[in-house]
Structure 1
Amino acid sequence: MAKNEIIQKAEEKMQKAQNVLERDLGSIRAGRANASLLDKVSVDYYGAPTPLNQMASITIPEPRVLLVTPYDKSVLNDIEQAILMSDLGINPANDGSAIRLVVPQLTEETRKDLAKNVKAEGEKAKVAVRNIRRDAMDTLKKANKNGDYNDDEFHDLEKQTQDSTDKAIKVVDEIVANKEKEVLEG
C-alpha cells in the first residue's frame, strides 16, 4: 500500500462520517419545515417498506408547513399512518389529495433537548473520526515495522494523519455549531 493511500482512505472515511452526521442532523426538526424530516419515514407499499420520498412529492408551501402529495392517491391513508407511527411528533392533516404537516413551534425546553441531541450526534461523529485515525495509525505502524518507511517518512505520515483528523474534527464542530444555532434560534 502506497504511503498516501493510507491517509487518502482515512480522509475518505472521515468525509463519510461527516456526511452521515449531516444526514442525521437533517432529520432533527428545528421548528421550521424541512423535507429531510421525512427521510426516515417508510410506508408499507404493497408489502414492502418504501421510503416516503420515493412515493410522494414533498414541498414546503409555507415556512412551517410540509405538503406531502403522493404519486398514487390510493396510498394516502398508508402515508398518513406511517407519519403517525414515526417519532416526528407531528400530526398529519389529510385533505383527501395530500397531507399537510404543520411543524409546531418549539418550546425553549424542547430546543435545549434537541441541542443536546445535536451535540451527542456530533460526539458520535468525532468518535468515528478518531477511530478512523487510530486505524490509519495502526496501519502506518505495521508498515513501518515491515520496513516500508524510514522513521522520518513515518513521522511525516503520522503528522499528516493527525492534520487530516484535526481538519475533520473542525468540520464536525462547525456542522454541530450551525445545527445547534438553527435549533436554538428556531
Structure 2
Amino acid sequence: MSTEEFELDLDDLERRMKGALDALKYEFQGLRTGRASASMVEPISVDAYGAITPINQVGTVNVPEPRLVTINVWDKSLVQKVEKAIMESGLGINPQTNGTIIMLPIPELNEERRRELTKVAAQYAEQARVAVRNVRHHGMDQLKRGKEGMSDDDHKFWQDSIQELTDTYVGHVDKMLEHKQEEIMQV
C-alpha cells in the first residue's frame, strides 16, 4: 500500500473531538452557578397533549433579573404540569405561580455547594478529556493499520498531526473547565 492510498480523515477525528466539547458545554449549562439562565430549564420536558415536549415549546422562558427565571406558559391547562416537571427535574428550585407565569427564584449558593459544583465540573471535564483521547486512540489505530508501505516520515507526520489535534482539544476542555470553575466560585 503506498502513502497515496492511505488517507486518515483528520476532519472526522476533529469533528468527533468537537462533539466531546459540545457535550461538555451542554453538561456545564446544567450546573447552577447561582445566576439565572434560560438554559437551566432546557433539559426539562413536560407531558403536554399526550407527548413529551421541551419546556420552551409550551411557554416563553425569560430571565428578567439575575436571580429569576420566568416561564410564561401559553396554555393555562399546562401550568400545573410545567410546575410538576420543574419540581421533579432535580433543579432544587420551588416554582412560584402567578396565573400562567411560573417564577423560579434562584437561591444564593453557599461556599460548600460552590466547591461541590467545581468538583462536578472537573468530573465532566475529565469525561470530555477521556472522550477526546478515545478519538485519538481510534485515529492511532487507523494509522497502525495503514502503516504498511508508509515511510517512517509519513507515519511520524500523521502521528504528530493526531497528537496535535488531541492536545488542542484537551486544551479547550481545560480552558472551559477553568472558566466554569471561576463562574461557580464568583459570589
Which category describes the TM-score, using the shorter chain as reference length? over 0.9
Query: What are the within-5 Å matches in structure 2 for residues 2-41 of structure 1?
Result: 3-5=7-9, 7-41=10-44
Runs of 4+ in 1 over 4 A off after TM superposition: none
Higher mean C-alpha deviation, range 149-158 or range 85-94: 149-158
Q: TM-score, normalised by structure 1?
A: 0.95
Query: Aligned-residue CA RMSD in angstroms?
Result: 1.2
Asked if structure 1 preserves the Cα contact closer than 8 Å seen for 2:125 and 2:173, the reply is yes
User: How high is the sequence identity, in percent, across the aligned residues?
Assistant: 37
- Measured in 1, the distance between the counterparts of 2:82 and 2:126 equals 33
Can you give the 5+ residue segments of structure 1 that lack an aligned partner in the other structure? none
- Measured in 2, the distance between the counterparts of 1:50 and 1:2 equals 46
Residue of 125, 128, 142 corresponding to 1:122 = 125
Q: Report the CA distance between 1:93 and its aligned residue.
A: 0.3
Asked if structure 1 preserves the Cα contact closer than 8 Å seen for 2:8 and 2:142, the reply is no
**1:46 matches 2:49:** yes
Asked if structure 2 preserves the Cα contact closer than 8 Å seen for 1:3 and 1:157, the reply is no
- Measured in 1, the distance between the counterparts of 2:6 and 2:106 equals 51
Q: 1:136 maps to which residue?
A: 139
Q: 2:58 maps to which residue?
A: 55
Secondary structure of 2:83 counterpart:
helix
The number of residues matched between the two structures is 183
Asked if structure 1 preserves the Cα contact closer than 8 Å seen for 2:8 and 2:143, the reply is no
Q: Report the CA distance between 1:86 and its aligned residue.
A: 0.8
- Measured in 1, the distance between the counterparts of 2:28 and 2:93 equals 18
Q: Deviations over 1:71-108 (max 9, x none)?
A: 22221110000001110000000111210000000010
- Measured in 1, the distance between the counterparts of 2:95 and 2:73 equals 14
Q: TM-score, normalised by structure 2?
A: 0.94
Can you give the 5+ residue segments of structure 2 that lack an aligned partner in the other structure? none
